[in-house]
Amino acid sequence: MKEFMSNKEALQHCIANKHFSLAHLYSDEKPLDMHIHDCYEIYYSISGGKQFLIDNRFYTIEPGDIFFINQYESHHLTQIDARIHERIVISIHPDYLSSISSAITDLGHCFTHRDTEYPHKFHLDPDLGTRFIYLIHKIAAAEGFGTDLTERSALTELMIFLNRFFNESRFLTCNQAVTTNHAQVDDILSYINQHISEDLTLEKLSEYFYLSSSYLCRIFKSTTGTTINKYITARRITIAKSLLNEGCSVTETYEKCGFNDYSNFLKAFTKAVGISPKKYAQFHS
């Protein structure tokens, strides 16, 4: 299997082919804004040194950390600097993972059965990390006759390994502290997520937290790496995708997500997801 050197290209390949892709990255490419996509993502850090904002949670990234992110969770890699940051990112289309699962073994379990109190971040000790890298190399080395079956077999083995690890680890880490560089931003994130369906404006946030608009914007951007408006929009789109998958109408969806009119919802959703909410609902019904 081809190892991509760009996470963006790997993600595009995964979505276009409804398959899976592998990116082994050493240096930083231009980071994506707070974003969501129609693929599961496994993010394994080899060198650490960065920070993840996933929905309303911050995580510092250390060597050996692994993240499970589903297709409804907005995320953004922050604290971009000059350090080399080696990591492996696997993008998997949910339909493909479902196709290689069985009636009694759901390989997407680690993405779909993480309750809200459980973290996205887990840690592979050196032995488990070695096992993970071995399975990644097994996928990457597949070539020649039967490549597709070799790739599928290796991915199946990897996902069985990761789901077993997930089930054994999640109860041990559910109380793990989420780290952040600014307690005020934690409060802001919590407030936004509790009031996401309401008319959230910078003025209202400033008034509620007794902070000037400029200071509020500055601490939020410096801590999260994204702006308040981009964060709010990304969270609303994430919720919209989930509601549309559950069968809600487009009208119900944009009202529940806090968009003040359909035109704004249509524009934001189409830009973030690549298709209109109506088409998205048709494809995922």
> pLDDT > 90: what percent of the chain?
45
Mean pLDDT of 116-125: 85
Partners of 66 in beta bridges = 44, 122
Residue 174 has pLDDT above 70, yes or no: no
H or E, element range at 121? strand 121-123
- Top mean pLDDT of 46-55, 195-204, 219-228 is at 195-204
151: CB partners within 8 A, 6+ apart: 1, 139, 142
Other residues' Cβ atoms within 10 Å of the Cβ of residue 31: 17
Digit-coded pLDDT (tens) for 161-173:
999 999 888 655 5
CATH number at 3-173? 2.60.120.280
49: CB partners within 8 A, 6+ apart: 61, 79, 81, 83, 85
Q: What is the radius of gyration, based on Cα positions, of the chain?
A: 19
Partners of 44 in beta bridges = 66, 88
Instruction: Please tell me the pTM assigned to this model.
Output: 0.77
pLDDT of res. 162:
96
Partners of 53 in beta bridges = 58, 76
Comparing 22 with 82, which gets the higher pLDDT? 22
pLDDT of res. 180:
44
DSSP class of residue 59 equals E
- Tokens at 100, concatenated: 């290689």
Domain ranges of the chain: 3-173, 183-283
Helix (H/G/I), strand (E/B), else coil: 96 = helix
| Residues 54, 75: Cα–Cα separation, whole Å | 4
How far from 202 is each of 205, 229, 231, 237, CA to CA, in Å? 5, 8, 12, 19
Residue 80 has pLDDT above 80, yes or no: no
Closest alpha carbon to 284 in 252, 233, 254, 240: 240
Digit-coded pLDDT (tens) for 177-221:
444 446 788 889 889 989 999 989 999 999 998 889 998 998 888
Place 102 in a pLDDT band, splitting at 50, 70 and 90: very high
| Residues 205, 188: Cα–Cα separation, whole Å | 8
pLDDT of res. 17:
94
Q: Which residue has the tokens 């940051």?
A: 85
Spatial strand order in the sheet of 75-78: 57-61, 50-54, 75-78
Residue 135 has pLDDT above 80, yes or no: yes
Name the class of domain 183-283. Answer: mainly alpha
> pLDDT > 70: what percent of the chain?
89
Residue 105 has pLDDT above 60, yes or no: yes
pLDDT of res. 172:
59
Contact 79, 45 (CB under 8 A): no
pLDDT of res. 171:
59
